[in-house]
């Protein structure tokens, strides 16, 4: 097999759209590997190249047929101590919960060729690939093919494979989970309140969703120790930060499900999107009104959405992505691992 690599500047993403569209349907691809997602990144996230770094899409061809596209962020020189020279996956430090190369059928030899070619072109054999699914062929190839692993850090994720029937789903839930759902509904009834669920809410102001999310994050941050806050601030000053954006506002494929009270006030939301094939829902962000938290509006919203999804039979999986928050497992999710693997290819 003859391989060649073409390096396409990130701002010229449109020139490889047809090649990307062919590869993005692979069974290991998520919405975070779709052309539509990277089109958004090109507009809101990918910075202009500098003397220190560059963003490229490396297109690998096997016998003149594209077989792999690697979205890469190349740090050409170490800067501010913590931004080490090396090769990273473009999409890091963003809402892309799963990073990967883009391929239909994984070709390990193509990946090996790419890594060798990248090393020669940019003068580094230091690679740091973040947020790789443990089950991905990319991760498995790296850790099992003789590369020198410097660090392999695990981050929890949670996902729910939907069963064939609502009855089967109910059996999946623990006794404690069913009690929590009953308690939330009983509290609503006792206090004369109710919730209205909308699974594709095109009316609610996205800024109100972001406000709910930010208020919850602020409470979470307030609980962090002073020492950890100091360390965070110090590291934060040294690390390079990509431009901030919120997919709920910028991603064309983003949808929102909401829970509102009897007065129409937003009490919880989930922002989500579908994979290319439409069989898996990926949750991108969530928020709950802390004043209404005792009624568990977010959990009731998602539970109702799960029931409807099983009845409709169109979605096979609801992926809650990064994080091991308790409600995800209350609703029947199982733990999955993401890996950040730092390695050398020689």
* Length, in residues, of the chain: 346
Residues 283 and 167 in one domain: yes
Closest to 283 (Cα-Cα) out of 254, 307, 304, 324: 254
| Average pLDDT by stretches of 10, the chain with 346 residues | 96 97 96 98 97 98 97 97 96 95 98 98 97 98 96 98 97 96 97 97 96 81 77 86 95 97 97 93 96 96 98 97 95 97 93
How do 126-133 and 195-198 pair as beta strands? unpaired
pLDDT tens-digit series, residues 250-297: 999 999 999 999 999 999 999 999 998 889 999 999 999 999 999 999
What's the rounded Cα separation, in Å, for the pair 140 and 153? 14
Residues 181 and 254 in one domain: yes
Q: Give phi and psi for 199, each to the nearest 5.
A: -90, -15
Residues 101 and 219 in one domain: no
Residues 142 and 238 in one domain: no
Residues 318 and 172 in one domain: yes
* pLDDT of the residue at 227: 82
* pLDDT of the residue at 277: 85
When computed from its CA atoms, the radius of gyration of the chain, rounded to whole angstroms, is 22
Question: Which helix (H) or strand (E) covers residue 257, if one does?
Answer: strand 255-261
Residues 177 and 305 in one domain: yes
Domain count, the chain: 2
Residues 55 and 116 in one domain: yes
Buried b (16+ CB within 10 A) or exposed e, 262-277: eeeebbbbbbbbbbbe
Q: Give phi and psi for 30, each to the nearest 5.
A: -115, 180
- Which residue's structure tokens are 């093919």? 145
Cβ–Cβ < 8 Å for 316, 115 = no
Cβ–Cβ < 8 Å for 134, 95 = no
Q: Which residues contact 144 (CB under 8 A, 6 or more apart)?
A: none
Task: Supply the pTM of this predicted model.
Answer: 0.94
Closest to 304 (Cα-Cα) out of 185, 161, 213, 209: 185
* Structural domain span for residue 32: 3-156+339-344
Residues 138 and 227 in one domain: no
Structure-block tokens of residue 133: 């699914």
Cβ–Cβ < 8 Å for 55, 42 = no
Residues 98 and 213 in one domain: no
- Which residue's structure tokens are 């569209």? 21
Question: Which helix (H) or strand (E) covers residue 195, if one does?
Answer: strand 195-198
CATH number at residue 292: 3.40.630
Residues 58 and 112 in one domain: yes
Residues 169 and 286 in one domain: yes
* pLDDT of the residue at 221: 65
CATH number at residue 143: 3.40.630.30
Structure-block tokens of residue 337: 């691992």
Residues 48 and 177 in one domain: no
What's the rounded Cα separation, in Å, for the pair 177 and 168? 15
Angle among Cα 84, 98, 58 to the nearest 5 degrees reads: 60
């Amino acid at each position: 097999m003859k391989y060649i690599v073409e390096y396409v500047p990130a701002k010229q993403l449109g020139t490889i759209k047809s090649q990307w569209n062919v590869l993005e349907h692979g069974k290991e691809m998520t919405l975070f590997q779709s052309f539509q997602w990277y089109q958004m990144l090109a507009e809101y996230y990918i910075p202009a190249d500098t003397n220190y770094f560059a963003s490229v899409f490396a297109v690998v061809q096997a016998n003149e047929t594209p077989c792999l596209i690697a979205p890469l962020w190349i740090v050409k020189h170490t800067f501010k101590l913590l931004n080490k020279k090396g090769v990273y996956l473009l999409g890091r430090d963003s809402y892309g919960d799963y990073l990967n190369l883009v391929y239909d059928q994984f070709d390990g030899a193509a990946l090996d060729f790419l890594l060798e070619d990248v090393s020669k072109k940019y003068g580094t054999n230091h690679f740091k690939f973040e947020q790789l699914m443990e089950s991905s062929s990319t991760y498995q190839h790296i850790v099992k093919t003789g590369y020198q692993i410097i660090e392999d850090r695990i981050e929890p994720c949670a996902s729910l494979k939907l069963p064939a029937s609502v009855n089967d789903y109910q059996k999946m839930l623990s006794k404690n989970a069913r009690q929590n759902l009953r308690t939330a509904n009983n509290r609503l009834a006792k206090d004369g309140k109710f919730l209205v669920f909308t699974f594709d809410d095109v009316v609610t102001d996205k800024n109100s969703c972001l406000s709910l999310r930010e208020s919850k994050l602020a409470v979470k941050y307030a609980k962090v120790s002073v020492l950890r806050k100091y360390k965070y601030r110090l590291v934060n000053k040294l690390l390079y930060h990509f431009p901030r954006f919120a997919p709920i506002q910028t991603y064309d494929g983003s949808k929102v499900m909401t829970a509102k009270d009897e007065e129409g006030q937003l009490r919880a939301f989930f922002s989500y999107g579908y994979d290319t094939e439409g069989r898996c829902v990926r949750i991108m962000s969530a928020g709950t009104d802390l004043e209404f938290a005792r009624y568990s509006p977010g959990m009731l919203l998602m539970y109702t959405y799960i029931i409807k999804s099983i009845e409709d039979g169109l979605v096979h999986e609801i992926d809650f992505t990064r994080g091991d928050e308790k409600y995800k497992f209350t609703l029947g999710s199982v733990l999955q691992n993401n890996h950040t693997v730092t390695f050398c290819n020689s």
